[in-house]
Amino acid sequence: MTDQAQTAPAAKKLFIKTYGCQMNVYDSQRMAEAMGAEGYVLTEDQAQADMVLLNTCHIREKAAEKLYSDLGRLRSLKVAKPDMKIGVAGCVAQAEGAEITRRMPQVDLVVGPQSYHRLPAMARGEGPSIDTDFPAEDKFDHLPERMATRRAPAAFLTVQEGCDKFCAFCVVPYTRGAEVSRPVDRILSEARNLVARGVRELTLLGQNVNGWHGVGPDGREWGFGRLIRAIAEIDGLDRIRYTTSHPNDMADDLIAAHGDVPQLMPYLHLPVQSGSDRILKAMNRKHTAEQYLRLIDRIRAARPDILMTSDFIVGFPGETDQDHAATLRLVEQVGFGTAFSFKYSPRPGTTAYDRPEVEAAVADARLHELQALLGRQQQAVQQDMVGRTLGVLFEKPGRETGQMIGKSDYLHPVFVDAPQAQPGDLVQVRIVESRSNSLRGELLT
């Protein structure tokens, strides 16, 4: 640390673009903090940057291609400004490594999601310019303590990384590596630190967040539900959320926590991918549609008002009209608050990669049909909120004067006229209108 402070150059500007999931958002913050210790300050203006860092996603082909189109555009900037460094981080960096610099020689650094604690040294020109190791050391032990880069009342905290589940379509086990849970004491100290800096809502992150496990200060093996209970004891922390969870890791204690931990918000993202047992099996999801439905019954028994969301893939290899109908049936049965749905994208290295694809037009039509149904459910759920009084945590001012934007307990964005309010205020709001992707509310006085 001290050496870094001594050698820190005058303020240089860092521009970071983040693609993909919330874990990448978290990683970008940590990389910004690590580079901050090197004298870099963040800029929103790419043209001003001494270093441009692209934190990438490999989940679908389109996501990965975006990197190359962005790099293409950066080429002319680099010609005009040859000292500017270009770094590629994240899941494409992990998956493609040296292929990136081969295709795009203007790239100076490539750093994978498990080795970004080495980014500062790489930026100084020490060590390799491509680092996609899964190092034995824990990157979090080599990163500076969390800093308040921007005052925000809601923050992410990674508690678990990687995945051992190997769903047939998914690159995450390859890009993020094996499942690793961070130790309890590190998680609790990071959480306390964030709360001490004004954070009132924490979203615990992991690719299989509810698979988290560790040894508690009591010497016992803790599961994720126990961790949530410990985090809920932090004074000043009002809300806890977590994402993304796997249906097979919804332990009894975690389900019970939804009933008896008041800080745990009534919202759960639980990807199911398909409603067809045949397709679930081909996807290697290791549960049936019926098991998923019964699981939701148990979660709703613990917390009746919980809002469920999910992820779906349509057009997985071998998916028939009957399989698709089973997915629509499952959606009808559950009633989701919202959900993400994607057309299957074959990913190199995954087991489904070489399987014969569903015709594109058929997959498009199915996606359209599923999204229409999910859209109707979303509107119905939002309409149901009208007239209710909900907690809203204000995050930032809205576009109109005196307006604030916050999230409801159910994670809906809510616009409220509140000229006296500050980000970080947790207020009671009466919902008066449902818009396409948000709600409008009035302060209860």
Interface with ligand SF4 (CB under 6 A), residue total 10
Closest CB to ligand F3S among 68 and 369?
Answer: 68
Token readout for 276 is 């067809």
Name the minimum Å distance from CB 418 to ligand F3S.
34
Question: If contact means CB under 5 to 8 A according to the sort of partner, which of ligand SAH, ligand F3S, ligand SF4, none does residue 254 touch?
Answer: none
Q: How far is 272 from 113, CA to CA, in rounded Å?
A: 26
Residues in the chain: 445
Restricting to residues 36-95, name those near ligand F3S by CB under 6 A. Answer: 57-59, 90-91
Residue 15 or 344 having the CB closest to ligand SF4:
344
Contact with ligand SF4 (CB under 6 A): which of 173, 214, 225, 441? 173
Using only the alpha carbons of the chain, give its radius of gyration.
Answer: 22
Contact 406, 392 (CB under 8 A): yes
Q: Which residues bind ligand SAH (CB under 6 A)?
A: 59-60, 169-170, 172, 207-208, 244, 246, 271, 273, 311, 313, 342, 344-345, 347
Contacts of 205 (CB under 8 A, 6+ apart): 22, 23, 26, 156, 157, 158, 159, 160, 242, 243
The long-range contacts involving 396-400, CB below 8 angstroms and separated by at least 24 positions, are 396/423, 397/423
Give the one entry of ligand F3S, ligand SF4, ligand SAH, none that residue 166 binds, where binding means its C-beta sits below a cut-off of 5 to 8 angstroms depending on kind.
ligand SF4
**From ligand SAH, ligand F3S, ligand SF4, none, which one binds at residue 342 (CB under 5 to 8 Å depending on kind)?**
ligand SAH
CB 353, min distance to ligand SAH, A: 9
Could you tell which of ligand SAH, ligand F3S, ligand SF4, none binds residue 347, using a CB distance below 5 to 8 A set by kind? ligand SAH
Least separation in angstroms between residue 31's CB and ligand F3S is 13
In whole angstroms, how far apart are CA 147 and each of 42, 123, 203, 230? 13, 21, 17, 22
Residues 184-223 that bind ligand SF4 (CB under 6 A): 207-208
Site string for ligand SF4, 219-258 (x = CB under 6 A): ---------------------------x------------
202 and 239 Cβ atoms separated by less than 8 Å: yes
Q: Is 366 in the site for ligand SF4 (CB under 6 A)?
A: no
Q: Which long-range contacts (CB under 8 A, 24 or more apart) does 216-225 make?
A: 216/184, 217/184, 217/185, 222/184, 223/251, 223/253, 223/254, 224/249, 224/251, 224/254, 225/251, 225/252, 225/253, 225/254, 225/255, 225/256, 225/257
Residue type at 391? Answer: G
Q: How far apart are CB 66 and ligand F3S at their closest, in Å?
A: 11
20 binds ligand F3S (CB under 6 A): yes
The answer to whether 9 touches 35, Cβ cutoff 8 Å, is: no
Q: Is the peptide bond before 244 cis (omega within 30 degrees of 0)?
A: yes
> Which residue has 């409008």 as its token pair?
440
Residue 209 or 261: the one with the smaller Cβ distance to ligand SF4 is: 209
Applying CB under 6 A, which part among 1-9, 150-158, 162-170, 181-189 lies near ligand SF4? 162-170
Q: Which helix (H) or strand (E) holds 56?
A: strand 51-56
Separation between Cα atoms, residue 156 and residue 203, nearest integer Å = 5
Q: Which of 176, 200, 239, 407 is the binder for ligand F3S (CB under 6 A)?
A: 176
**Which amino acid, residue 95?**
A
Shortest reach from residue 369's CB to ligand SF4, in Å:
23
Give me the residues that bind ligand SF4 (CB under 6 A), please. Answer: 163, 165-167, 170, 172-173, 207-208, 246
User: Which residues here bind ligand F3S, judged by CB under 6 A?
Assistant: 20-21, 23-24, 57-59, 90-91, 171-172, 175-176
